[in-house]
Amino acid sequence: MTRKENLSYQILDGKAVSDKIRAELKSRVAALGAKSPPVLATILVGNNPASETYVKMKGKACESIGLTSKKVQLPGITTTDMLLRIIDECNADPQIRGILLQHPSPAQIDERAAFDRIAIEKDVDGVTAFGFGRMSLGIPSYPACTPAGIMRLLDAYNVKLAGLHAVVVGRSPILGKPMAQLLLNRDCTITVCHSKTKDLPEHVKQADLVVAACGKPAFIQGEWIKPGAIVVDAGYNPGNIGDVDFNGCAQRASYITPVPGGVGPMTITMLLAHTVESAEKAK
Ligand code: NAP
């Protein structure tokens, strides 16, 4: 059966949901009535081409809702101390309402120290250990943008999460781990899988909700999906390929995210939403 022949699944359309949220955010930025718009500072160390592209995309997204994006480009030889000083300057600048340190940093940088230097009220990308702890405890915080975007997308389709067995494939600090915590806080029962997990398909087969976040193109197979399960593909690999075999998984899923147009737009939208919220709080 091809994708078009199976009409029983519903697409979780991250592009459409994002567009709606961004329109609301634009009004909220206008309502701030600021003489100069709030700023999202994006710090980029070195010149990794993929990171350059992401920073450019984030800059354009900021402008589209009336925020200013300030790109701080640092040379690849930047030391941790130099980076910490730059972060301190951004923390002290009242116009800057959000700080994003683009991952990955060059090897000589202590990235954890740099992330943790970001003031909690400007940690709009959810990278500080303090922010992670607050998010895990269900205390107001800005969760990492990709898992936050997935939660907003599921909510936009009124997916009832309580009681679902969610299997998260991946445990990175920006995606798998916060995803598991957010789902746990919404009363899901959680299994977190990773590269050392034995018999991954058997775990995925138990899932009412699968979140694929392993960075392996088209890795999650249709025959692993329990009929009627919800499939969220957080993956983004070269060639616009997710971590899920879409055609195979759509044959069994009730809801599924496409790549592109699923989780990706929601991630950037959450970055914007967190920055706007930070600006509102500062006001
Ligand atoms: P990452 O840091 O490389 O983490 C990958 C995770 O997957 C690790 O926990 C790893 O396990 C696990 N893994 C690797 N191979 C596996 C296997 N064979 N079976 C089970 N688990 C396995 O990647 P990430 O930053 O979390 O990103 C994951 C994916 O999401 C990538 O495709 C990335 O491009 C995408 N992403 C998308 C967005 C977006 O906006 N849409 C944002 C961020 C990331 P170990 O911990 O044992 O190594």
Ligand 1 neighbours by CB, cut-off 6 Å: 146, 169-172, 174-176, 193-197, 200, 213-216, 234-237, 243, 263-264, 267
Q: Is there a common fold for 36-119 and 145-264?
A: yes
Q: Which residue's alpha carbon is nearest to atom 44 within ligand 1?
A: 235
| Percentage, residues of the chain above pLDDT 90 | 95
Residue 4, pLDDT score: 44
Burial of 38 (0-12, 13-18, 19+ CB in 10 A): buried
Long-range CB contact pairs, 234-239, < 8 A, 24+: 234/146, 234/150, 234/170, 234/175, 234/179, 234/263, 235/259, 236/260, 236/263, 236/264
Least confident of 3-12, 26-35, 70-79, 94-103: 3-12
What is the pLDDT of the chain when averaged over all its residues?
A: 96
pLDDT at 36 over 90: no
pLDDT at 5 over 60: no
Residues contacting residue 233 through CB under 8 Å, at least 6 positions apart: 212, 220, 242, 243, 244, 246, 256, 257, 258, 259, 262, 263
Ligand 1 atom having least distance to the Cα of 196: 47
**Residue range 182-201, pLDDT digits in tens:** 999 999 999 999 999 999 99
Catalytic residue, from 123, 125, 233, 243: name it.
125
How far does the centroid of ligand 1 lie from the alpha carbon of residue 28, in Å? 33
Q: Check: CATH 1.20.1250.20 for 36-119?
A: no
Residue 216, pLDDT score: 98
Query: Is 60 assigned a catalytic role?
Result: no
Query: Is 19 assigned a catalytic role?
Result: no
CATH code linked to domain 145-264:
3.40.50.720
Residue 133, pLDDT score: 98
Each domain of the chain, given as residue ranges in start order, spans 36-119, 145-264
Residue 35, pLDDT score: 84
| Percentage, residues of the chain above pLDDT 70 | 98
Ligand 1 atom having least distance to the Cα of 262: 41
Quick one: average pLDDT of 273-279? 98
CA distance 233 to 245: 9
Give the residue, out of 167, 221, 236, 237, with the most ligand 1 atoms within 8 A of its beta carbon, to mutate for a pocket test: 236
Catalytic residue, from 13, 56, 60, 102: name it.
102
Query: Is 102 assigned a catalytic role?
Result: yes
Pair of tokens at residue 82: 């130099």
Confidence of residue 34 (pLDDT cuts 50, 70, 90): confident
How far does the centroid of ligand 1 lie from the alpha carbon of residue 170, in Å? 5
Residue 6, pLDDT score: 54
Ligand 1 atom having least distance to the Cα of 264: 41
Residue 1, pLDDT score: 39
